[in-house]
Amino acid sequence: MSFPPVTLPLIAIYVLVGAVVGVLVIHPLNLVVIWWELSRFSETAPLLIEFLRARLWLILLPRHVDVAIAYTLVGAVVGLAFGIFTRNYMRTSEAYNSLREEQTALIPQLMGQGETERVEFKSSLRWDIKENRVNRGLEKVIAKTIAGFFNANGGHLLVGVNDDGKPLGLTNDLSTLRSPDHDAFERTVNDIVSKNLGGDLCPYIHTVFADVDAKDVAMIIIRPAPRAVYLEEGKSSIFYVRSGNSTRQLDVREALSYANSRWS
């Protein structure tokens, strides 16, 4: 989605509209607040309509020009702030959408290159293709692979792709979710990371989707973690690291040595 640029002339329009709002909206609202305060402490306070009718037109008198200028300036500042916020928001949205499109376009390319130190393929997130059923144990496999990328230099985990780089799709995985859509899939990935590796690591992953040969493919982008990441398996904490095109478990001595050099 592309947003129209917010130019300086458009910001000037925001300022002008804000100035009008200051006089026609902020001023009456302020009078309503004043009337409400008076009505709380006076039994003879006029009706709101009468109060507004008696005071709104005063802003047109020369002796009240300073009041008119004050409300105009307040409105103009509000309009300027809104214009600047809108411009920054649209610029950020454009940059985010552009980055997302680049990441999505990368998926077919990575599938064609095969598994590497920075790329791994998984057929599914939680659907056991061989047994044709949900298998929550597969979530541990996903967590293990993500942990390996976390502890190394980051990488890309493609879900819905077989070992040969052919798209299998996400239909079965999506059917296991309460809401069978991409947002629910991404939340499930975050839940897997939070439950098995630590909630503080969720900001270090990002999931995007692409349609490849009429099949959905998800790509989990993993950045290097700021700390050593362990996968809890039973009563043990297992340390995994990406090595070549596979994820390898390190023993205690290897893990300590690697962690000391990696996060020193």
pLDDT in tens, 7-22: 667 778 888 898 999 8
Distance between CA atoms of residues 200 and 30, nearest Å: 45
And the tokens for 14? 């925001």
And the tokens for 27? 């001023």
Q: What CATH code would you report for 114-262?
A: 3.30.950.30
Q: What is the pTM of this model?
A: 0.68
Burial class (CB in 10 A: 0-12, 13-18, 19+), 133: exposed
- 95: pLDDT confidence band, cut at 50, 70 and 90? low
- 152: pLDDT confidence band, cut at 50, 70 and 90? very high
Strand pairing class (155-159; 119-122): parallel
Question: pLDDT: is 70 or 58 the higher one?
Answer: 70
Distance between CA atoms of residues 142 and 239, nearest Å: 14
Could you give the C-alpha distances from 17 to 6, 12, 24, 72, 99, in angstroms and in order?
15, 9, 10, 10, 34
Would you list the domain boundaries of the chain? 8-104, 114-262
Long-range contacts formed by 103-106: CB under 8 A, 24+ apart: 103/206, 103/208, 103/219, 103/221, 104/208, 104/209, 104/210, 104/219, 105/210, 106/156, 106/219
